[in-house]
Structure 1
Amino acid sequence: MNYVEEIVSNKILKVDVLCYWQMSGHINSKEGVNSRYLPKGQNILVFNFGDSVEQLSLSQNSDFKTPFFIFPAIKTSTIINQRGKIDLFGISFIGEGLYKLIQQPISELISEFPNTLRGKYEALYSELSENNFLDKVNIAENFLLENLNQKIESPVFHKAIEVIHEAKGVIKVSEITDKVHVSERQLQRLFKTRLGISPKDYCKIIRVNNYLEFILIKNKSVDWMELVVEYDYHDQPHLINEVKSISKLSPKKLISFRDTLYHRYIGE
């Protein structure tokens, strides 16, 4: 299995788009391979040129049946099953990037595209097909430059995202509203419309991801009290419960598996 990515460097786009990526290969197993996707606070636009991808859940499973789909920002991890031919090309959006492109409330989007936009993205899918990764990147970047509407940017939302990242997610919603000078209700509405999740959930995701990066980079036994203090948790159980609420695994188990899509493919 191969995974490649290209970090966005275009000055106009890099505020809204993190990277372009591609997964390719073949999984012979009839049962396929399950990978855990951890929330990153990103909305992802995926073009599938291979076999169908299935999202597994406790209540029901669902296939991404269309050749292109949106994988929205999520609050807790989900399991993705892949089998057969794998050929995915994706665009990972940060902040309000996908909202600027789709120009519809992100909280109302599900895996299928709005019918009003389907024709435009069918044409893009056809243009991307049969090209190599770098050519796909160029095609996608030109499409984004033409269609991503910078005029609908929200300075308040953008500032709120900056504040959260500067604090590594260790900040209360009331503190964010004080810094960006809006009411909590206004901030909630902005996040739901432009990102798809609440500011509280986004803070938790950023905090947990910073925590995970901290312990993955350290490569030695973890000082739990150091982490509790660094990331402003009440105590060790609070830290562990919050990680489990995001990943559905304890911190130790998550690290031992390293079974996210990113960790599964980045080393191959």
Structure 2
Amino acid sequence: MNSTYQEFKPSAALEPFVDYYWLHTFEADGNQESPVQRCLPFGTLEIILHLDDNHCQVLHNNYWQKLPHGFFVGLYRDAVQWKCVGSGRKFGIQLKPESLLQLFNIPVASLFNNFTDLETFFGKEINRLVEKVYGQLSIHSVIAAAEAFLLAQRRNLNAERNYLFEATRLIRQSRGNLSIEAVSEHIYVSKRQLERSFKDNYGTTPKMYQRIIRFRNAYEYFYQKPTAPDWQDISYTFGYSDQAHFIRDFKEFTDDVPTVVFNDTNQQFQRPTCWGTYARA
């Protein structure tokens, strides 16, 4: 089985809300099964669409189950295992967590560490996007449909100051190295109030989000290394108390130790470095 993966930057108008778009393609002979893939928790939300009739499968409650045609993924703290049987294409919109409240005014707390089909979460209106991208062979046509859908939502954007959005961005900007107490002081709200707002809207605590963001930055840093990294140096660079602390956190979010992930020959954990760009016409 051949597998290709690409990432595409959003237009400038959507950069505050979208990390990137991605396309994962599997080409197989008959019902050939892909190696098990692993999605790591990177502190983002995702709208994911199958572009044809062959749906991938996810390991859920120790059973492989077929994924919906279109589904929405909340914030995760666990690695998720999935696979494709036969040829298929998946398209994803990776969103910053505050974007759902900004663009749709929907909290995502109910989907922490979980996913659901798109219509259940967004309502029937999102089926227009599903129908527009189904069967499209051109990735640029798929992205154009996604951009049009998101830009329409952007017209309803509330520009008022929101301390939850500010805190979420501040944690990302600091690469997870700012304490929650410091974040609270910076945005002039109490730590308890911030924790309650995170729990009500995202389904988790600011501390967990901070840990996920720190892990993401450490992972993306060492993934670029051509040879085995110095784990102690990475631990220091990304604000872990020591190497044991880094390895403990890493294992919690990936189910494995850093050396195994770095040397994984099947690249089950890793995002390939095939970047694309998208410019609106």
TM-score range, shorter chain: 0.7 to 0.9
* Change over 3 Å in CA distance of 1:3–1:116 after alignment to 2: closer
Is the CA contact (8 Å cut-off) linking 1:2 and 1:25 kept in structure 2?
A: yes
Name the residue aligned to 2:279.
none
**Does the C-alpha gap of structure 1 residues 136 and 248 become closer, same or farther in structure 2, counting only changes over 3 Å?**
same
Larger mean CA deviation between 243-252 and 88-97 belongs to: 88-97
Match for residue 23 of structure 1? 24
Tell me, in whole angstroms, the C-alpha distance in 2 between the residues paired with 1:224 and 1:115: 43
* SS at 1:19 equivalent: strand
Q: TM-score if structure 2 supplies the norm length?
A: 0.83
Secondary structure (helix, strand or coil) at the match of 1:4 reads strand
1:87-166 residue pairs with structure 2 within 5 A? Answer: 87-109=89-111, 110-113=115-118, 115=120, 117-131=122-136, 132-148=138-154, 149-151=156-158, 155-166=162-173
Aligned twin of 1:53 = 56
The match for 1:229 is: 236
Residues 153 and 218 from structure 1, CA distance in 2 versus in 1: closer, same or farther, beyond 3 angstroms?
A: farther
Q: 2:176 is paired with a residue of what secondary structure? A: coil
What is aligned with 2:191? 184
Which whole-Å CA distance do the structure 2 matches of 1:142 and 1:96 have between them?
19
Q: How far has the Cα of 1:226 moved from its partner?
A: 2.1
Q: Distance in 1 between matches of 2:228 and 2:35?
A: 30
Distance (whole Å) between structure 1 residues aligned to residue 222 and residue 6 of structure 2: 24
Instruction: Report the 3-state secondary structure (helix = DSSP H, G, I; strand = E; otherwise coil) of the residue aligned with 1:79.
Output: strand
How far residue 227 of structure 1 moved from its aligned partner, in angstroms, is: 2.4
Contact 2:43 2:75 in 1 (8 A): yes
Equivalenced residue count is 264
DSSP-derived class of the 1:70 partner: strand
Match for 1:145: what amino acid? L
Asked if the contact 1:75/1:197 (under 8 Å) is kept, the reply is no
Contact 2:7 2:274 in 1 (8 A): no
Q: Going by fraction, where is helix more abundant, 1 or 2?
A: 1
Partner SS state of residue 193, structure 2? helix
Give CA deviations for 1:65-123 in whole Å, capped at 9, x if unaligned: x3110022201211111112312121110131123344222012431235474321222
Residue 78 of structure 1 aligns with an amino acid whose one-letter code is V
Q: Which residue of structure 2 lines up, in the alignment, with residue 86 of structure 1?
A: 88
Q: Which of 230, 250, 254 is matched with 1:243 structurally?
A: 250
CA apart distance, 1:3:
2.4
- Structure 1: stretches of 5+ with no match in the other structure: none
What amino acid does structure 1 have at the position aligned with 2:66? D
Q: Alpha-carbon deviations, 1:137-178, whole Å to 9, x = none? A: 111111111124421765312321232123211222222111
What is the alpha-carbon distance in structure 1 between the residues aligned to residue 121 and residue 80 of structure 2? Answer: 28
TM-score normalised to the size of structure 1? 0.87
Q: Tell me, what secondary structure is at the counterpart of 1:141?
A: helix
